Amino acid sequence: MAIEIRPREDQPVVTTRPTTEPASARVPTRAPEQAAAARTTKIEARDLNLYYGSFRAVRDVTMDIPANEITAIIGPSGCGKSTFLRSLNRLHELAHGARMEGRLLIDGVDIYERSVDAVDLRRLVGMVFQRPNPFPTMSIYGNVASGLRLGGGPKPADLDEIVERCLTRAALWDEVKDHLGAPGTSLSGGQQQRLCIARALAVDPEVILMDEPASSLDPIATLRIEELMLELRGSYTIVIVTHNMQQASRVSDQTAFFSMGEDRAGYLVEMGQTTTIFTNPREQLTEDYISGRFG
């Protein structure tokens, strides 16, 4: 019972990881008394500060992200929401001069602890980026399989099945099943983004980070991505950064509003149920932002 990364019964996409060790062995286990308290909270940020060199991009963020729901992060440009998102899978630390202070826990485990390997973490916390970025030299099939071909472990025997399942899950299978060998970049922008989602699903993550996943897409493609997010809700903890407040209100359960302080550092203004944030926010700043008075 002390194992914090449980196999979820409600998750249809069950894939074989290329790593031979069980999932639970990748992150140290947590004290049992903490487990009960944090059952429905997937990610906890505690006094999180993120820096690029001497510049503080995110200041003192403390927030709880619930499991298997969609949490939207909104806020004006430059308020650190993308930086915050990228700290959740430790992509932030790859930037030149990047560092962090505070604690970030997933299932109660501090992901910046020395015993946690960023490579393993990123298999648990998948990411979809602002612009669709399929690998241009790989086929559609190869793109979905790319994550499973990492690590040098044995290739899963049911690779074909996994690819089909992930493409189906990403609502792309019917459109591409007859030309799986075509380059990933031959698809339209919206299809490429769904391909990237399928690629992220293939490594069997528990959390999916989406950094403005629809900002480069047309309205119809955007709608399909939103539908897809709602379908994945319940099986995955989804954190989405968006500029688009309508999108946040349409898809998310929880909304966090970030703003930029006078020191140009982003901070969390408030977080709550999406309906509350959009109808009856606590803070005047939130009210001003969602009613379009700034940002």
Partner 1 sequence: MTTLAPTGRLRGRTTPRRADVVFRSGTRVFGGAVIATLGVVAAVLVVSSVPAWTRFGVDLITQTTWDPVRDVYGALPFIVGTLYASAIALLLATPIGILTAIFLSEFAPRRVAIPLSFTIELLAAIPSVVIGLWGVFVLSPFLRDTVDAWLVATLGWLPFFRGPSYGVGLGAAGVILAIMILPTIVSISREVLSSVPNSQREAMFGLGATRWEVAIKAVLPYARSGVIGAVILGLGRALGETMAVTMVIGNGQDIPVSVFDQAQTIASKIAVTFNEASGGLQTQSLVAIGLILLVMTLLLNVAARLLVSRVQQGPAQ
Which residues within the stretch 44-83 sit at the binding site for partner 1 (CB under 8 A)? none
Rounded to a whole number of angstroms, the minimum distance from the CB of residue 195 to partner 1 is 11
Among 98, 162, 170, 200, binds partner 1 (CB under 8 A): 200
Q: Whole-number minimum distance, CB 281 to partner 1, in Å?
A: 32
- Only one of the segments 67-75, 147-155, 224-232, 245-253 lies at the binding site for partner 1 (rule: CB under 8 A); that segment is 147-155
* Interface with partner 1, residue 203, by CB under 8 A: yes
CB under 8 Å, gap of 24 or more: what pairs does 104-107 form? 104/43, 104/44, 104/45, 104/46, 104/48, 105/38, 105/43, 105/44, 105/45, 105/46, 106/27, 106/42, 106/43, 106/207, 107/4, 107/5, 107/27, 107/30, 107/38, 107/42
Q: Closer to partner 1 by CB, 27 or 269: give it.
A: 27
In this structure, which amino acid lies at residue 163?
A: V
The least distance separating partner 1 from the CB of residue 252, rounded to whole angstroms, comes to 21
Which residue lies nearer to partner 1 by CB, 14 or 150? Answer: 150
Q: Which is nearer to partner 1, 153 or 295 (CB)?
A: 153
Is the CB of 201 or the CB of 265 nearer to partner 1?
201
Contact 64, 41 (CB under 8 A): yes
Number of residues near partner 1 (by CB under 8 A) = 34
Residue that the structure tokens 């060199």 belong to:
53
Minimum Å distance from CB 130 to partner 1?
8
Residue 103-142 contact track with partner 1, rule CB under 8 A, x = bound: ----------------xxxxx--xx-x-x-xxxxxxx-xx
Q: What is the dihedral of CA 83, 150, 117, 34, to 10 degrees?
A: 90
- Least distance to partner 1, CB of residue 159, Å: 12
Cβ-count burial 250-259 (b if 16+ within 10 Å, e if not): bbbebbbbbb
Instruction: Please tell me the distance from the alpha carbon of residue 194 to that of residue 173, in angstroms, as a whole number.
Output: 10
Pairing of strands 98-106, 109-110: antiparallel
Interface positions, 175-194, toward partner 1 (CB under 8 A): 181-184
Closer to partner 1 by CB, 200 or 268: give it.
200
**213 binding partner 1? (CB under 8 A):** no
Q: Are 204 and 17 in contact (CB under 8 A)?
A: yes
d(CA 225, CA 214): 7
CB of 137 to partner 1, least distance (A): 4
**Contact assessment for residue 232 and residue 13, using Cβ atoms and an 8 Å cutoff:** no
Interacting residue ranges for partner 1, rule: CB under 8 A: 89, 91, 94, 119-123, 126-127, 129, 131, 133-139, 141-142, 146-147, 149-151, 181-184, 196, 199-200, 203
